[in-house]
Chain A
Amino acid sequence: MSIAPSALPISMRRIEKRFGSVPVLRDLNLDVEAGEFLTLLGPSGSGKTTLLMILAGFVRANAGSIKVGGDEIITTPPHRRNIGMVFQNYALFPHMNVFHNIAFPLKQRGVAAGETAQRVEKALELVKLQGLGERRVDQLSGGQRQRVALARAIVFEPRIVLMDEPLSALDKGLREHMQIELRALHRRLGMTTVYVTHDQREAITMSDRIAVMNGGRIEQLDRPETLYAAPKTQFVAGFIGESNFIPVESRNGSVWYGDRRIQTGAPTPPAGPHLMVVRPEKLRLVTAADPSAGINVLEATVSDIIYQGDSFVCYASLRDGRQLTLRDYCRSDVLARMPAPGQPIMLGLDAKDTILVAAEG
């Protein structure tokens, strides 16, 4: 990944935002590295869009500091922040053609006509829309509009690019294609990017780091693989990927599920109740003979099996009635051992894949 020479780090400190008396952001601190692709991920109402709006200058925080490359910008009006922004609905100017839309930020900066034409052309090339400069906005497809909005947000080489769920209006195939393209564009240009989405898959696909937001706070800020493999809270484990939670207890230096000892990859957590995070794809069917050190075995009864073509999902209930989900690919060795509903099975979970999080009230 190359870092653009103009890319700057962002440092947000103790951001507070209330709408009336309702707190939306609470004592929020976040550092974005220069050239990084950071995603704010969270359910609606988690404050992620508000944070983005504060960063862009469209919403005023009640308190806090935002420094871009060391300069305080918390009270700087949006047009002097030099931040490119892509909106969910693109907000292209319908009374201008593609060229004038992209040239808009250059015109505001008094760039000469010749240079403007050159830079717009280059931006169009970057987003693969060469030769469409004269098109009217309403003649473009959804994907093309998305690209024009992107070109417009980067043509003036801003210090930072903000994107507010820019792909949510596209259909699934195009969305996945654009995710890869956006990622490639970011690799190429290396601008500091803050991206907002509620789609965890999209966040995992695209981001260098993800800040998972909940109730106006950042629950966890980590690389995608770390977030998935080692969620720190039940919320993060539940929001990223599929999870079943099994209550366990830590006592006498070991972790217990009922009277069964659970082996974990990490050091034993402090005494008290915890939750074991069980991902469907980490579980596998084992026979009684299989178990060895390093594998936790759970006994269950199959309640249903759903065949999905490439894979299958097995719903099983533990002895205490708790539901577990297992997902596996339809390989012949797995299919050969496929249990039937009502049948008792044993589910194996590697100690290395056994994650514990604090039990939330």
Chain B
Amino acid sequence: MSDGIGLPISHRQRLWLYGFGGLVLLFLIAPSVIIVIMSFSDSTLLQFPPQQWSLRWYQSYFQSLEWRDATIVSVKVAIMTALVATPLGTTAAYAINRGTLRFNGTINALLTASLIIPVILVGIGTFFLYARIGLNNTLTGLVIAHTVQALPLVVLTVLSGLRSYDMNQERVARSLGAGRIAAFWQVTMPQIRFSIVSGALFAFITSFDEVVVSLFISGGETTTLTRRMFNALRDQIDPTIAAISTCLIVLSVLLLSLAQIFGRRH
């Protein structure tokens, strides 16, 4: 349907479709928009539209040590997760793309398993394991657990980059005298780097937004932002969370636009 030549149905005959589709789009986007607007409200009551505007919820977010520490933990973990998951996922995708290993399908299934296995099960399992080896409430433990969650996204993103890349280029580089590593770095890597960067961004955001596993394995000094938010939401609806949510939405928009830009250049 991408040829731009429509069918002999006029847009007017389809008004009902556009109307309904528009409402569904509104349903999808409205909650985020409402939260962003409300985060600038002056009132403790969550009125919409707000009567008075202020930045008091942002102040309360940035001035709270607890929120700030949790944010720092989340940022640290997300950066480290991206740094670990990206090279691991890239090399794994490269090996899978070669497709010469006998158990390629099984390996692929294993690496993308965490997309299919219920997160709650992974959370409980990881907690159980970490309790034995003392990794609960540690940054290392969080980074490892988040890396496993982020790996499938990196693998799939890089894999799709590799699939649209012409492997003959690496072959020709080898025939021209480049060793395996030189051929990858000088020829393959520059051409799939946008996929790799997208994969890294996805890894970052996956870690940053991860709730369920963190709920089990983070706590004390390593409480992540999402865990703190979850606990706060269980108690009462604090408008500070609207400010935090807005920051998270902005982060998502930023990272997504970056990924989009890189994706397009690829």
The answer on direct contact between A and B (beta carbons under 8 Å) is: yes
Interface of B is mostly: helix
- Select which of B166, B182, B191 is within 8 A of A89 by beta carbon: B166
Task: State which residues 163-194 of B face A: CB under 8 Å.
Answer: 166, 168-169, 171-180, 182-183, 186-187, 190-191
Task: State which residues 314-346 of A face B: CB under 8 Å.
Answer: none
Q: Is A87 an interface residue (CB 8 A)?
A: yes
Contact with B along A290-302 (1 / 0, CB 8 A): 0000000000000
Q: Say yes or no: B177 contacts A108, CB within 8 Å.
A: yes
A79 with B178: in contact, given A93-B187, A104-B173 (CB under 8 Å)? yes
Q: Which residues of B lie under 8 Å from residue A89 when comparing CB positions?
A: 166, 168
A84 to B191, CA, bound (A): 22
A56 to B172, CA, bound (A): 10
Q: Say yes or no: B171 contacts A58, CB within 8 Å.
A: yes
A79 to B172, CA, bound (A): 9
Q: Say yes or no: B176 contacts A87, CB within 8 Å.
A: no
Task: State which residues 272-312 of A face B: CB under 8 Å.
Answer: none
Closest residue on chain B to residue A78 by CB atoms: B174
A83 to B166, CA, bound (A): 20
A108 to B177, CA, bound (A): 6
Smallest CB–CB gap between B153 and chain A, Å? 25
Q: Say yes or no: A79 contacts B175, CB within 8 Å.
A: yes
Closest residue on chain B to residue A58 by CB atoms: B171
Smallest CB–CB gap between A98 and chain B, Å? 15
Q: Is A91 an interface residue (CB 8 A)?
A: yes
A108 to B169, CA, bound (A): 15
- Select which of A94, A156, A162 is within 8 A of B176 by beta carbon: A156
Q: Which residues of B lie under 8 Å from residue A85 when comparing CB positions?
A: 171-172, 175-176
Smallest CB–CB gap between B161 and chain A, Å? 14
Q: Say yes or no: A108 contacts B171, CB within 8 Å.
A: no
Smallest CB–CB gap between B174 and chain A, Å? 4
Smallest CB–CB gap between A105 and chain B, Å? 4
Q: Which residues of A lie under 8 Å from residue B169 when comparing CB positions?
A: 91, 93
Q: Which residues of A lie under 8 Å from residue B166 when comparing CB positions?
A: 89, 91
Smallest CB–CB gap between B265 and chain A, Å? 11
Smallest CB–CB gap between A108 and chain B, Å? 4
Closest residue on chain B to residue A53 by CB atoms: B171
A85 to B187, CA, bound (A): 16
- Select which of B182, B190, B191 is within 8 A of A108 by beta carbon: B182
Q: Which residues of A lie under 8 Å from residue B173 when comparing CB positions?
A: 93, 104
Q: Is A241 an interface residue (CB 8 A)?
A: no
A105 to B177, CA, bound (A): 6
Q: Say yes or no: A84 contacts B175, CB within 8 Å.
A: yes
Smallest CB–CB gap between B75 and chain A, Å? 32
- Select which of A84, A91, A95, A105 is within 8 A of B171 by beta carbon: A91
Task: State which residues 66-118 of A face B: CB under 8 Å.
Answer: 77-79, 81-85, 87, 89, 91, 93-95, 104-105, 108-109
Smallest CB–CB gap between B125 and chain A, Å? 38
A84 with B174: in contact, given A79-B183, A91-B166, A95-B190 (CB under 8 Å)? no
Q: Which residues of A lie under 8 Å from residue B190 when comparing CB positions?
A: 95
A77 to B179, CA, bound (A): 8
Smallest CB–CB gap between A94 and chain B, Å? 7
- Select which of B171, B179, B180, B183 is within 8 A of A87 by beta carbon: B171
**Chain B interface residues toward A at CB < 8 A:** 166, 168-169, 171-180, 182-183, 186-187, 190-191
- Top 10 closest pairs, chain A to chain B, by CB: A108-B177, A105-B176, A91-B168, A78-B174, A85-B175, A91-B172, A95-B190, A91-B169, A79-B174, A87-B168
**Chain A interface residues toward B at CB < 8 A:** 56-58, 77-79, 81-85, 87, 89, 91, 93-95, 104-105, 108-109, 152-153, 156, 162
